[in-house]
Amino acid sequence: MDLVPKLEDIIPDPLLRIVFTLPHLVLLAAVTCVAARREWRLPLLENMIMLGKDSNKRLIGRSYLFIICLVQALMLVLLNISFYIYAADVYPSFTLATMVTTSSIVIITSALATVFVAGYSLKLAEREARLETKLLHNIEMHNLNLKMQVQRHDFYNHLTAVYGYLNAKQYKQAEGYIETLNNSVCQIADLISMNPPELGALLSVKREEAKLRGIDFNWQVNIKNGVLPLPPEDLTRLTGNLLDNALEAAISSHSPRVDLVINSNKMGMQLRVSNTGASIPKGLRNQMFTAGYTTKDTNCHSGLGLFIIKQIVDHYNGQMYLMEPENYPGVQFLIYIPWKLRI
């Protein structure tokens, strides 16, 4: 006697269907209890919600992505069961039209789930990139504050050096020492007080990169009231990619130099990045904004810098011009971002 029931016997019998699913439910309950006790979590969707009238927000993680993946798996199981029922003729009423309808529902649900998973994964990647950028900005601002504290701590030593020059009647050396010290302090103070602070942190990093490469890096930032027509995150992405390209291009010139000018007022924002070096041929200017296009080593460069710049400019209905600088031969990018019209 066969004690193991067949699928043909389970499907028509309600009691057998319930008994058949009990082991699976017990296993799922056990896994859920173990996961809850060990506090296993998936780094998925996190929502900030208000509970009742309490003003405190609680962070509740919901594994929507995991559920969507399970739905896809269950839909595939349902599809296979449907094919089996149709082929085995367990339910005479289960016709070809019913199977086609079931298959269509499974395929559409799986497709929507896949689109949701892909979109959510992209959002996770963007959020991770923003958080990483903010972390780097915070670290750089901490380094700037530390440099200012070091300057204050060494103030007595600087006075001693200046006194030594003056006592030896080396007035030009004393003047040069004071000028160098003043420029260093002013640059650090300017970066710390810059608004938005993310831009100051970025310029501090690029200044160190330029110094290591022997590039003369100058900037002029004039943002009235600290108001911009685009978020600070996009401004740093735009400026950072432009400066990366400019520093890379200027290194090959005889006297490498990079200049950055940012002006923002009620009319909009103008961003200008110039660098010494070879000019860009007109035949390549239409191709250089394509994703993946690069004339450099593909092992070290992704070719996405100019593509990202173009995407940001287009997103804010801006305009971008490529020209030669006025003061030296090279390349200059001029970008204008207008304010969004409020209707």
What's the CA gap between 200 and 191, in Å, rounded? 5
Predicted pLDDT at 167: 80
Flag residues of the chain having pLDDT under 50. 42-62, 298, 342-343
DSSP H helices, 38-154, are 64-88, 96-153
Domains (range + CATH), the chain: 7-127 (no CATH), 214-343 (3.30.565.10)
φ and ψ at residue 176, rounded to 5 degrees: -65, -40
Q: Could you say which DSSP state residue 23 is in?
A: H
Residue 336, φ and ψ in degrees, nearest 5: -125, 125
Query: What pTM was computed for the model?
Result: 0.53
pLDDT at 292: 54
State the Cα torsion 315-321-326-331 to the nearest 10°: 90
Give the residue among 261, 241, 306, 313 at the shortest CA–CA distance from 280: 306
**What pLDDT does 132 receive?**
74
pLDDT value for 44: 42
Q: Residue 51: what pLDDT?
A: 37
What pLDDT, on the 0 to 100 scale, is given for residue 54?
38
pLDDT in tens, 169-204: 888 888 888 887 777 767 766 777 778 888 888 888
Contact 341/317 with Cβ under 8 angstroms? no
In the three-class reduction of DSSP (H, G, I as helix; E, B as strand; rest coil), residue 95 is classed as coil
- Given this model, what pLDDT does residue 326 score? 87
